Structure formats: C-alpha cells, structure tokens
Amino acid sequence: MDTFGLLAQGFLVALEPMNLLYALIGVTLGTAVGVLPGIGPALTVALLLPVTYKLDPAGSLIMFAGIYYGGMYGGSTTSILLNTPGESASIVTALEGNKMARKGRGGPALATAAIGSFVAGLIATFGLALIAPFIVKFALSFGPAEYFALMVLAFMTVSAAFGESSLRGLTALFLGLALGLIGIDLQTGQARLAFGIPDLLDGIEVTTLAVALFAIGETLTVAASRSSGDERIEPVKGSVWMSREDWSRSWKPWLRGTAIGFPIGAMPAGGAEIGTFLSYSVEKQLARKPEEFGHGAIEGVAGPEAANNASAAGTLVPLLTLGLPTTATAAIMLAGFQQFGLQPGPLLFANNSSLVWGLIASLLVANFMLLVLNLPLIGLWVRLLSIPRHWLYAGILVFATLGTIGANPSVFELGMLLAFGILGYLLRQFGYPIAPVVVGLILGPLAEQQLRRALAISQGDLTVLVHSPISIVLLTLAAAAVIVPLVMRARGRGKVLSQLAADED
Amino acid sequence: MTENNTSGTKRRPDRAAFVIAAVLAIIAGVIAWNTANMGGAGSYSRLGPTAFPYAIAAALFVLAVWTVFAALRHDFPEREPQQFGPVIWIVGGLAAQMLLLKFVGFSIATGLLFAATARGFGRGPLWMTIPIGIVLSFVVWFIFSKGLQLSLPAGPLERFILG
Amino acid sequence: MKHFVLASILGGLLALPAHAADYKIMAPAAPGGGWDQTARTMQTALQDEKISGSVQVNNVPGAGGTIGLAQFANQASGDPSQLIVGGYVMVGAILTNASPVTLDQVTPIARLTGEFEAIVVPAKSDIKDMAGLVAKLKADPGSVSWGGGSAGGTDHITAGLIAKAVGVDPTKVNYIAFSGGGEALAAILGGQVTVGISGYGEFESQIKAGELRIIGISSDEKVAGIDAPTFKEGGVDVSIQNWRMVAAAPGITDEQKAAISADVEKMVTSKSWKDALATKGWADTYLAGDEFKAQLAKDIESTSGILKDIGLVK
C-alpha cells in the first residue's frame, strides 16, 4: 500500500470518536500543563504519562500526540505574557513576544504563535508521513558503530548550546555522564557506583532528574531570588486579532521557520532550541525593519514558534524510525511507547503500521484541535497565569511530585527528586546550564553501550568505527558541528547563539 | 511562625568556585575509587565496564582544575543575593512529603508540601494553607487514583472519605 | 485541625478492615512488563471467576524484581492475602545482584506460564542448523556474536549453557547485550550479530515472514505450532524455560497455603485465564506443589552454576 493509502487508513483510526476524544483531552491537558512556567513538553509528557496507563496503545499514542503538541505550544504563552519561557525552545519567543506584549500587542503575538505553530505542525507532520518511510530503509544498516557515530554527533550539537562558558557547559555535561554510570552495566551485569543500594541498580530515572532539575530547581530559584517582585501579567490590549500588516510580516517567517525547524528536529542530533535560535537570526537578517528587533518584531515570534513546532514533528522521525530519543521529551515518549510493548525503531512501521499511521494522522488532528482550542481561548490561558505565584509554584510542586510518586512511590525516589532539585538550584546559582546534565544522562549510557557493542562484535578492531560511509559522514558532521561555531564565534556572529544558549532553561 | 527571611551574605564568587572545584574533584575520586574496587568478572567484553568510568573521572578532574583557574581569573558570573528562608521552607516541605507519604497518605503529605511551598513564597498562615493544600491534593489523588487507577499511597484521610 | 486529623485517623482505622482486598498482588516490575501483565491477568481472572472479590495490583520496579521481593518478604510476612509475581529472571537477578532476600524467604505457590528460548539467524546467514552453529562456535568462540537481552538474563544464561554443553569455555561467549527486544531484533535483522537468542515470541513474526531462520528451541519436546528442532534434537543437551510464577508471603500456615493454592488452581483452569493466555500467546506451563518446588531448586542450582561459569557471579 502506498503512503497515502496508509495515511488514509491512519485517519480512520484517528477519527474514531473515542480517539478524537483522547486527542482533545491530550491537547487540552498538554496546553494546560505546558502553559505553566518551568514545565516544558518533556515534563508535560512525563507528568501526563500516567494518564495514558489505562488506555489501549492506539488511544494512548493519540493522547500523546495531543499532549506533545499541546505542551510544545503551551510554553510560548508564558514566554510572551510573563517573559518566563515554559521550556527551552520558547526562550527566543520571549525576546520579541514579551516586548510585543508590553506594548499591548500580546494578542497578535499569541495569535502569530498559534497560527505559526499550526502551519508548521501541518507541513512538518506531512513531512514525517512522507520522509519517515525512506529513513526506515536506512535504519537497518545502522549497526553499533554507526549508532556510536550518531551519538558523537549528538554530543557535538549539544556542545554548541553550552552557552557563554565552555567550562560550565562541559561540567554540566560530565555531571550528567557521571550520573549515567550509576546502575547495572548492561554488557556485563555488574553494578557501577551503586554503593550497595538496590534502588540504584537500575540507574537514575531520566524523568526524575528532569523533573527535579527543571521544576524543583526553578521553584527554589524563583523563591530564593530577592529581586523578583510581583511579576505583572500584561493584559491583552487593543485588537486580539492580527492586522493585515501582521499577516504579511508573519507568513514568510512561518514557512522559513518550518523549513529550518523540521530538518533540525529530524536530525537525530538536532534539538528544538537550535532550530529556534537559527530561525531568529535568519529572520533578523531578512527583516524589512531589523531595527524593530529587540523592541517587539512580530517576525521574531512567528519564525521561532514555527521552528519550534516543526522540530516537534521532526523529533518523531528518528524516534519512530530509529528508536532514537533525541530530546528529553522523546526519551519520555520512548518510555511511554515501551509501556505498551512497542519498540519504536526500524520495525515499528512494519510491525505496527496501523498504529504508526494512526499516530501520524492523530498528530494532524491534534494540530488542528490545538488551533481551534487556542485562538478563542487566549484570554483563558492568560487568566490561568493570573494565579498568584505562591499558589502557582505550590501547585507546580504538587504536580512534579505526583509524577514521581505515581511512577514509583518510594521514599528513595522522592529523596532523589529532592536532592536533584537542590542540585538544580545550585547549578542555576552558579550559572551552569541545566540541559547538558539531562542530555549527558540520556546519551552517555547509549554511547557507551554502542561503542562497546561495536568493539565486542569486531573483537577489538577499532577500524570498525569508520568502516561504513554512514559512520564517516556522521563523524565528519560531528567535527563540523564543533568547528563551524568556533569559526562563527571567532568572526563575531555566534554572539546571538551563545547569548541565547546562556539563558537556556 | 516567625518571619525568617534569613538573607545570605554575599559571598565572594571565587571562594564558591573553589568549593565547586573541590566537589568535582571528590566526585572524580569517588568514581575512580569505586571503579577500581569493582569485581573483575565479565572478562569476555573487549572494552570493559571500567573504561568509561575512568574516562569520566579523569574528565571531571580536569574540569576541577580548570574551575580553579577560572576562579582565579574571576571568570564566574556575579550572583544575586539569595534569601534562604524560602529555600528552607520548600526543601522542608519536600522532605516532609517524602517522609510522611507512607504513613499519612498522599493527600495530607502533599498538602503539607503545598502549604510549605506557599509559605516559601510568603503566603500563609499555615492553618489556612494546609487545609487548602490537603483538599487540593485529595482532589488530585481522587482523579489519578480512582479515575486513572494510579497507585498513589492512600492514608487515613483517603480511607475515611471513601469509607 | 487537630480534631480533624484525629477524626480522620480514627475513621481510617475503622474503615480499614472493610477495605482490605481479598488479594493484593505485587508485580516487582514497572507497569507494562511481563510480570506486571501476569499480575494484571491474574487480577482479571480472579475477579471475573468470582474467586476473589477484590484484587489490587501494585508495582515495585527495580533490579530484576529483587527490590520488590525484599519489600514483599519484609512487609507481607504472615499475611495470607498478599501475593507476588516472579519468574526465572528473578533467580538470576538474586544471584548477580547478591540480593540479601532470596526465593527461600517467600512461599512459592505455582509456576503459571512459560516461554521457550529460540536461536535465530538472518535468512541469508551461512549457518543452517544447530550443528553449523556448534561447529563455528568450536572453531572460534569469539567469532560468534550472540545478540540478546541484558547480561545475566535468560538469553545470556542459555548462550552460556549451550557453550558449556558443547565443551566451549562459557567465558569466551561473545555475548552482546541489548536493552530492548526490538533493538536486539534490529541488530539481528541487519546482520550486525551472528545469531540472535531470545524468547520465541520476540522472533515469531519475523520467522513467519521469512526474514529470520530459527535453528533451535529450548523446550524438551517439539512445541505445537513451532516448526523448529529442539536444542536436544540438534545435539546440544540444554533445555530451559523462562517461566513466571506466583508466590505467597512467608510465615503463613499450611492451611492458608492450601487455600491459596486451591484458588490459584481454580484460576488456571478457568476460561478467562485460558482465553487471556491464548490472546497473549503465553504457554500454560502450570506446575504446583512439590513438583514445582523440586523444579525451582533445580533451576536455582543450574543457574548459579552457569552464572559462575560465565563469570558473572563469583
């Protein structure tokens, strides 16, 4: 059957009334939780994962799609209105969006974000439907050596987002790598750094670390910060709708943002943030009124928001075709898929084709519902944020611990949540970026296992690592990922990138 | 219930950086020590389970040294003065939830966390925020535990209301 | 406030007996895995057949079930309403993790289901049968890479037993551990490893699609519906079953044990249990009483032997 036939069949699954309902619930929950500051899509999916425990695989995946897109979009609202990025991928949105909101143009800013997200999600999901099957064909030629090269590339891309200080970026990354060592070594069954504690034998849960570093660390930081007065929410003044000029200034950035965001998200070593940074700088270069940048340029909201959502769909390409989680969100989704005995990867399309095409179709459905839900409800989301901060953060902690307790109600797990929460606070205090810690924990063990598998299969022959064209290409890209930013930085153009990355989390 | 907005005195960044360097070096040492004392089984593996730990320990040690140099060059960013009262309230709330969860159930333990966090942000009094937190947590418990069959620890309160 | 708390504690204590579940089953694994599914299938069957009015399942994941086992042995002692699901993987995990709590500290009731291990090669592999694999293994053990689940698990143990049975040093087995079934499967299909070893169910659809060739199955006798010789027929004297069981709490009386055994027996003969097994493709390998006890002791002994031979346990 051809792609469109499979997709049509997918729509049959996604448009079943129950599945439509799951999509609606997912979008609503995802947006509602994703809109909370400090809770990005990773946390949103992690917190709401339990909701899907009871559903059948199709319903669960469809709700995932809704939660994922909802959470991805939800972050932009807080960025624009509160100057508090809900997640790392909406930092750029805050730069121009909040300036617009302060001028009373919060309505158009939210609208261009919502419509841009829709356009990007639509195009990128079709991209997922059309390109993913081709990538599947390559997937089986990936052996441990190629995967290892891929991990190296992923590490290099992350390093580009270290921020102003390589020292602190590397330190954060190696803290994550060290945490990744804890537990039973898969290849030999030996316990490493478990100190005889049985609870550590399975290693550190990525979700526990992410929830603790982001939600609890952020809460502690905000609470301890003396300068933080009452954050005022900008009311949406004037017309909530976009003017003709807004439209004409927005549509090209939407398309360019999609074109940048999707491939970067689909690149196993990409990441939503990087797409938004690139989109922002591209729009700034191409803008008719570049002097408006920094003072509320709508292009600076439209482009990055489109890139953000396009990369959300892009991330699903390696996840579904290679089983490779390239973001914390994807890692949590991977765990969610495994919950139902589904192993995303080369064979998912073959073994569970109706489910996969159902997911792709439901991504399109979820994307549409997101628009329907958000445009009329912009006013309501604003009100959600007018919850006083003390209640807001108290509620965030209730939900953050709920996720951990729901997954594993053990004192030890909550203890780790607390310890990592304090770690997250301290890291923020001393200007260390948070994301590399989580990335290190995710990628470190993967890279190690692949390298050791490759060398075990080759019986110790190191040339296996550069044995195939794929490995060579990936390793070359990895080298370029390190060298190009260095050159850019040397020529003074990396300033925006490094400055943005510094504010990350 | 006194106001204890203990304010941290502004420390010199350099000294904190030296502490960070020391912590990194200690972590490196612990990893190396633990790896060296690992059982020597599983010999069939070409690249053994000790290679990565040693590499990471070495890297952390290098980073510790680098941190010392960065500190000497005043390369650490200025920090905002911190209030430690709120941090203690929130950490205390999390600790209380962790320790009490098994005995008093989800709603009461999480209600205490809620109230302590609100207190950390300056909102009280506790006699009002604790009941609010418990009611809210009970609603959450009810939705997730009864509605979605998630196993959240039940305590006397949950059993009382549903009994 | 104080009164409120007091009242709720009192109320809770009063309400407690009325809410005690007839059975409380611990699945010592995360939701979704084999043990969790076994526990939840039991829950459905026990309730549907009215053997028990109310059955609760709780998950205590971690370390091959040993964390759940330790918690169960401590907290459930003497309580006839509590059950734990476990399996062969637990036998290995207790040994490799040096778990202080062993299966001696619970009361095993019955083996419920089981799955046999299969060895497969890619369709275009030059290994045609068990004899071909043995010849290659004897010539150069390192050149045969085995793709399967985590080190020390059933797949690894089976590979070690085969090597030992044909006179190859088990520590020379070039075993490549993969974290998930799909990951191992992809490596086998892509020809990254020489042979694949895992539960038959992992490979079933690929074998039927002709992508993989099965060269042996670990049962004692040929299994209906599986067109493959047993290891023994292939000249390797190894048989192994990755089984799942149910156990009761330590310190219960013989009458209580008999009552639980009767309930479990009623459950495994029920229609809803048999239907569930058929849907999930689990083999009914029910074994209870002294026969199970003897089989368990034998499994523990042989597992401990092979784990020492492989070098995972000192």
SS3 per residue for A95-131: HHHHHHHHCCCHHHHHHHHHHHHHHHHHHHHHHHHHH
The predicted structure's pLDDT at residue C248: 85
Task: Tell whether B63 is within 8 A of chain A (Cβ).
Answer: yes
Instruction: Give the closest of B127, B130, B163 to C15, CB-based.
Output: B163
Task: Tell whether B42 is within 8 A of chain C (Cβ).
Answer: yes
Contacts of A419 in chain B (CB under 8 A): none
The predicted structure's pLDDT at residue B92: 93
What span, in angstroms and rounded, lies between the C-alpha atoms of A235 and A231?
A: 13
CA distance A189 to chain C (A): 5
CA dihedral A38, A43, A45, A48 (to 10 degrees): -90
Convert the pLDDT of each residue in C19-42 to its tens digit: 334 788 888 876 656 787 788 778
Q: Which chains touch B (3 or more CB pairs under 8 A)?
A: A, C
Q: Which residues of A395-429 are buried (b: 16+ CB within 10 A; e: fewer)?
A: bbbbbbbbbbbbbbbbeebbebbbebbbbbbbbbb
Q: Is residue C197 located within the same domain as residue C263? A: no
Q: Is residue C100 located within the same domain as residue C136? A: no
Please report, rounded to a whole number, the percentage of residues in chain B having pLDDT higher than 70: 81
The predicted structure's pLDDT at residue A86: 53
Greater confidence, C139 or C57? Answer: C139
A:C CB pairs within 8 Å = 107
- Give the nearest chain C residue to B158 (CA atoms): C12
The predicted structure's pLDDT at residue C5: 40
| In-domain check, residue C137 | yes
Mean pLDDT of C261-274: 83
Task: Tell whether C67 is within 8 A of chain A (Cβ).
Answer: yes
Contacts of C183 in chain A (CB under 8 A): 323, 343, 345
Contacts of B44 in chain C (CB under 8 A): 171-175, 311
Number of structural domains in chain C: 2
Task: Tell whether C313 is within 8 A of chain A (Cβ).
Answer: no
A150, A164, A275, A308, A397 from A279: Cα distances, Å: 24, 20, 6, 9, 33
Structure tokens of C295? 């089989």
Task: Tell whether C102 is within 8 A of chain A (Cβ).
Answer: no
- Give the nearest chain B residue to A191 (CA atoms): B38
Interface mutation target, options A56, A136, A150, A184, chain C, most CBs of C under 10 Å: A184
Asked if C67 lies within 8 A of A341 by C-beta distance, the reply is: no
The yes-or-no verdict on residue B137 having pLDDT over 70 is: yes
Task: Give the residue ranges of DSSP H helices in chain C.
Answer: 2-19, 34-48, 66-75, 88-96, 130-139, 154-165, 181-189, 200-208, 254-268, 271-280, 289-310
Q: Is residue C278 located within the same domain as residue C191? A: no
Mean pLDDT of C118-125: 90
Q: Is residue C105 located within the same domain as residue C41? A: yes
Q: Is residue C139 located within the same domain as residue C184? A: yes
The predicted structure's pLDDT at residue A505: 42
Contacts of B60 in chain A (CB under 8 A): 171, 174, 178
Interface mutation target, options A199, A201, A398, A416, chain B, most CBs of B under 10 Å: A398
Residue C286's SS3 state is strand
- Strand C82-87 versus strand C107-122 pairing type: unpaired
Contacts of B120 in chain A (CB under 8 A): 223, 390, 393
Q: Is B93 exposed, middle or buried (0-12, 13-18, 19+ CB in 10 A)?
A: buried
Residue A177's pLDDT band (cuts 50, 70, 90): very high
- Give the nearest chain A residue to C180 (CA atoms): A343
What span, in angstroms and rounded, lies between the C-alpha atoms of A385 and A404?
A: 24
Residue A178's pLDDT band (cuts 50, 70, 90): very high
| In-domain check, residue C149 | yes
Greater confidence, C212 or A74? Answer: C212
Ordered by start, the domain boundaries in chain B are 13-72, 84-162
Task: Tell whether B66 is within 8 A of chain A (Cβ).
Answer: yes
The yes-or-no verdict on residue A77 having pLDDT over 80 is: no
Asked if C171 lies within 8 A of B163 by C-beta distance, the reply is: no
Structure tokens of C39? 């526990």
Contacts of C143 in chain A (CB under 8 A): 459
- Give the nearest chain C residue to A141 (CA atoms): C190
| In-domain check, residue C44 | yes
Instruction: Give the closest of A189, A341, A343 to C96, CB-based.
Output: A189
CA dihedral A309, A314, A316, A320 (to 10 degrees): 170
| In-domain check, residue C1 | no
Residues 6+ apart with CB under 8 A from B128: none
| In-domain check, residue C224 | no
Instruction: Give the closest of B41, B108, B131 to C311, CB-based.
Output: B41
Contacts of B131 in chain C (CB under 8 A): 1, 4
Task: Tell whether C99 is within 8 A of chain A (Cβ).
Answer: yes
Mean pLDDT of B151-158: 79
The yes-or-no verdict on residue A234 having pLDDT over 80 is: no
The helix or strand, by DSSP H or E, that contains position A386, with its residue range, turns out to be none
The yes-or-no verdict on residue A368 having pLDDT over 80 is: yes
| In-domain check, residue C229 | no
Task: Tell whether A434 is within 8 A of chain B (Cβ).
Answer: no
Asked if B44 lies within 8 A of C311 by C-beta distance, the reply is: yes
Asked if C192 lies within 8 A of A344 by C-beta distance, the reply is: no
Asked if C8 lies within 8 A of B160 by C-beta distance, the reply is: yes
Residue A5's SS3 state is helix
C228-247 residues touching A, CB cutoff 8 A? none
Convert the pLDDT of each residue in A431-440 to its tens digit: 887 767 877 8
pLDDT-wise least confident of A221-235, A305-319, C62-76, C289-303? A221-235
Contacts of A54 in chain B (CB under 8 A): 148-149
Task: Tell whether C2 is within 8 A of chain B (Cβ).
Answer: no
Convert the pLDDT of each residue in A88-106 to its tens digit: 566 667 667 767 776 767 7
The CATH number that applies at residue C210 is: 3.40.190.10
The yes-or-no verdict on residue A72 having pLDDT over 80 is: no
Task: Tell whether B33 is within 8 A of chain A (Cβ).
Answer: no
Convert the pLDDT of each residue in C66-111 to its tens digit: 878 888 887 777 788 888 888 888 888 888 777 777 877 888 888 8
Structural domain including C94 reads 20-113+244-310
Residue A49's SS3 state is helix
CA distance B61 to chain C (A): 30
pLDDT-wise least confident of A380-389, A460-469, B64-73? A380-389
The yes-or-no verdict on residue A232 having pLDDT over 60 is: no
Instruction: Give the closest of B42, B44, B163 to C19, CB-based.
Output: B163
Q: Is residue C25 located within the same domain as residue C45? A: yes
Examine residue A344 and say whether the peptide bond preceding it is cis (omega within 30 degrees of 0): no
Contacts of B156 in chain C (CB under 8 A): 8-13
| In-domain check, residue C3 | no
Q: Is residue C54 located within the same domain as residue C136? A: no
What span, in angstroms and rounded, lies between the C-alpha atoms of A52 and C79?
A: 33
A:B CB pairs within 8 Å = 200
Which of A38-42, A136-140, C34-38: highest mean pLDDT? Answer: C34-38
Residue type, B103: F
What count of Cα atoms within 13 Å lies in the side-chain half-sphere of residue C3?
A: 0
The yes-or-no verdict on residue B27 having pLDDT over 90 is: yes
Mean pLDDT of A93-121: 80
Q: Are A114 and A371 in contact (CB under 8 A)?
A: yes
A309, B102, B152 from C304: Cα distances, Å: 53, 36, 37
The CATH number that applies at residue C105 is: 3.40.190.150
User: How many residues would you count in chain A?
Assistant: 505
CA distance B56 to chain C (A): 22
Q: Is residue C25 located within the same domain as residue C70? A: yes
CA distance A240 to chain C (A): 46
Please report, rounded to a whole number, the percentage of residues in chain A having pLDDT higher than 70: 65
- Give the nearest chain A residue to C96 (CA atoms): A189
Q: Are A404 and A215 in contact (CB under 8 A)?
A: no
The predicted structure's pLDDT at residue A380: 66
Residue B10's pLDDT band (cuts 50, 70, 90): very low
Q: Which chains touch A (3 or more CB pairs under 8 A)?
A: B, C
What span, in angstroms and rounded, lies between the C-alpha atoms of B151 and B162?
A: 16
Residue type, A394: A
Proportion of chain A in helix, strand, coil states, percent, rounded to 5: 75, 0, 25
Nearest to A46 by CA among A419, A339, A394: A339
Asked if B46 lies within 8 A of A406 by C-beta distance, the reply is: no
What span, in angstroms and rounded, lies between the C-alpha atoms of A137 and A139?
A: 6
Structure tokens of A40? 């990005």
Asked if A393 lies within 8 A of B117 by C-beta distance, the reply is: yes
Q: Is residue C85 located within the same domain as residue C166? A: no
Task: Tell whether B46 is within 8 A of chain A (Cβ).
Answer: yes
Contacts of A53 in chain C (CB under 8 A): 31
What span, in angstroms and rounded, lies between the C-alpha atoms of A457 and A448?
A: 14
Mean pLDDT of B31-48: 71
The predicted structure's pLDDT at residue C16: 36
